[in-house]
Amino acid sequence: MARSFGLDTPRETRRTLRPNFDPETFGRLSERFARFLGTARFLVYMSAFVLTWIIWNFVAPKDLRFDDYPFIFLTLILSLQASYAAPLILLAQNRQADRDRIQLNEDRARNERSIADAEYLTREIATLRISLGEVATRDFVRGELSGFAKEVVTELRSDSQSDSE
C-alpha cells in the first residue's frame, strides 16, 4: 500500500552513512572553543601541559619515558591541536562576521527610519510655524479692537456734531 504525502507533510529522513550534524550547534561549539583559546586560562593550561610533558620525559626513569628528546609525539599533538583550532577559529569569526553584517543592516534600517521620522517632524514643525503666522495673536486682536473702537468713537462724534448743527 503506497502512501501519498502532500506538500504539508515532511518527508521521512533517509538513512545515510554520512553523519548528520546541526550546523548551528557545531557553530556554537566552535565559538565556545575559540573563545576559550583566547583566554589566559588556556595559555596556562597549555603551558602546564607542555612543561609537564617535557619534565616527565627528561626526569622520569628511562623505561617510563614515552617521548624522548626531540619530542616528536608532543610536536604531533600540538600540530594536531593547531590544525583543528585554526578552522574552528575561522568558523567562529565567520559566524561573528555574519552577525555583524546583520546588525549593520538593522542599524542602517533603524537610521533610515530615524531620518524619515526627523524629516516628517521637520515638515510638521514648518507647517505649524506657517500656520501660526496666519493665526491672530492677542496683541493683534487688541490692536484691531482698539482701532475699531477709535473708528466707532470718531463716527459717533461726527454723527453727534452733524446732529447738533
pLDDT one-digit tens code per residue, 11-67: 776 777 777 778 888 889 889 988 998 899 999 999 999 999 999 999 999 999 999
Examine residue 158 and state whether it is found in any structural domain, yes or no: no
Predicted pLDDT at 136: 72
Residue 3 lies in a domain: no
Range of the domain at 138: 23-149
Q: Can you give the pTM of this predicted structure?
A: 0.56
Q: For residue 160, is pLDDT > 80?
A: no
pLDDT at residue 2 tops 60 = no
Q: What's the number of domains the chain is made of? A: 1
> What distance in Å separates the CA atoms of residue 76 and residue 58, rounded to the nearest whole number?
18
* pLDDT (0 to 100) of residue 134: 72
Question: Would you say residue 10 lies in a domain?
Answer: no
Has residue 160 been placed in a domain?
no
* 97-126 tens-digit pLDDT: 999 999 999 999 999 999 999 999 999 999
Q: Note whether residue 57 is domain-resident.
A: yes
- Name the percent of the chain in helix, strand, coil, to the closest 5: 80, 0, 20
Task: Answer whether residue 29 is part of any domain.
Answer: yes
Is residue 1 in some structural domain?
no
Q: Does some domain include residue 5?
A: no
